[in-house]
Amino acid sequence: MTVQPKQFSRIVVVPSESMAAYESAGYGDRVWNRYNAGGLFRDVVVASPLEKGSRNDYGVTIRGVDGDGFQRLLRDWRPDVVRGFGGYWAADFVCRYTGFDIPVVVSVHDPSPKLIHPSVTYADMVMCTSSRVEKAVIEMGCDPGRVRIVPNYIDKNVFRPVTHSAAIQRVSAQFPPGRYILHIGRKAEEKNLDTVIRALTFLPENYRCVFVGKGKSERYRELACEMGVDSRCYWIEAVPNSELPAWYSWCDCLCVPSRWEGFGIVFIEAAACGTPIVTSDIAPMNEYLRNGESACLVKDYESPQALATAVQAVSEDLPCRQILSSGAQQVALRFGRDVVQHLEAAFYKELLESFTHSLKWRWRRRLWSMKIAITDRVGAVRL
């Protein structure tokens, strides 16, 4: 007789972005899996002040709520757990407005102190995407015993090497012949676009770079002009998620020499596609990628010349490419959706089974919430 895994009733989720943002990025069909690890919960409710009205899409209920509305929703729906995605405003929201008798989970994805608010210390469990983020959360004041590591995951049915020439040709046809570096990430300081641009000056003329990601590109375009490589740089705001494997399989290497990262899902996506990877020799990348085995890790990632040397080596040395490609695909196996969601579901179960014994943290959150409410009322009276 097969014993079916226990299924809990309901989870209420507060994402850090609106559902419209996820939909515009092509992630709408991933909502159910993202918010319901391994199908552990029967119902998923997305509740957020960023939403308007009420609707049902992607198998989840989506509600627009303010703080009072969130508390009413929790009283009516009685979820097993509430989760805030992001260590900043979503953490503030769920820790403040969730009642005494419902466990709160907060997930933190970035080690930047600006994106980890003190409210995370009042959650019953904090899920971090890497040990680098875990360290930052503990430094903020979280009890290490309540912190767990749950990395990002990939769908291995989507992210895998693309071998059929038609898909590769559709990407290749957009650019002139040459060798191509692919940089995927926000146009932000931590993604180190400026060093990649400068590295082009140390590479042969046939090397070009495609920058894919949202953000203001003006200063990077100006730098490319200043360096005399503007004709070798291409700027693309977004590529549909379903098409990314063809881009990873087409390029000569993925080069994202981040100054800091929470996890860096692009590295796992590229690894699953067998793409040679050039990145910084820092955590969390060097926690799962090994230099010379599954990636080329650059210690001096602020040096354009060091970066150029690494890019040229992985682009032109065929034996090196084969080793890195094979090793990267092995690494990616650890980040498949089923593997990671099984881990996440286990942590939910651990919390739900021990929650009645965690009075200390529940009282701390309740007292903090009351303090914030009193401060707000005093401020309103003064106004």
The span from the CA of 274 to the CA of 295, in Å, is 10
Other CB atoms within a 10 A radius of the CB of residue 278 amount to 28
The span from the CA of 103 to the CA of 66, in Å, is 20
Task: Indicate the residue type of 325.
Answer: S
Other CB atoms within a 10 A radius of the CB of residue 246 amount to 20
Same domain, 94 and 69: yes
Residue 297 belongs to some domain of the structure: yes
Same domain, 100 and 20: yes
**pLDDT per residue of the chain (383 residues) written in tens, 0 to 9:** 343 445 689 999 999 999 888 777 666 677 888 899 989 999 999 999 999 999 999 899 999 999 999 999 999 999 999 999 999 999 999 999 998 889 999 999 999 989 999 999 999 999 999 999 999 999 999 999 999 999 999 988 899 999 878 999 999 999 999 999 999 999 999 999 999 999 999 999 999 999 999 999 999 999 999 999 999 999 999 898 889 999 999 999 999 999 999 888 999 999 999 999 999 999 999 999 999 999 999 999 999 999 999 999 999 999 999 999 999 999 999 999 999 999 999 999 999 888 765 556 565 666 667 667 655 543 333 32
Same domain, 77 and 171: no
Same domain, 325 and 344: no
| CATH number of the structural domain spanning residue 22 | 3.40.50.2000
DSSP at 53: S
Residue 108 belongs to some domain of the structure: yes
Residues spanned by the domain of 69: 8-153+337-382
Write the DSSP assignment of 66-117 as a string of letters: -HHHHHHHHHHH--SEEEEESSSHHHHHHHHHS-TTS-EEEEE----GGG--
Same domain, 174 and 310: yes
Q: Is 186 in a helix, a strand, or coil? A: coil
- Whether the ω angle into residue 284 lies within 30 degrees of 0, i.e. cis, is yes
Please say whether the beta carbons of 261 and 200 come within 8 A.
no
N residues, the chain:
383
DSSP at 154: B
* Counted domains in the chain: 2
Same domain, 256 and 130: no
pLDDT at 224: 97
Tokens of 341: 């969601």
Residue 319 belongs to some domain of the structure: yes
**Matching residue, tokens 């090397």:** 207
Same domain, 348 and 217: no
DSSP at 192: -
Residue 3 belongs to some domain of the structure: no
Same domain, 175 and 39: no
pLDDT at 262: 87
Task: Indicate the residue type of 217.
Answer: S
Residue 160 belongs to some domain of the structure: no
Same domain, 181 and 288: yes
Q: Is 49 in a helix, a strand, or coil? A: coil
Same domain, 349 and 322: no
Residue 86 belongs to some domain of the structure: yes
Residue 158 belongs to some domain of the structure: no
Residue 312 belongs to some domain of the structure: yes
Same domain, 149 and 279: no
Q: Is 189 in a helix, a strand, or coil? A: helix
Same domain, 290 and 347: no
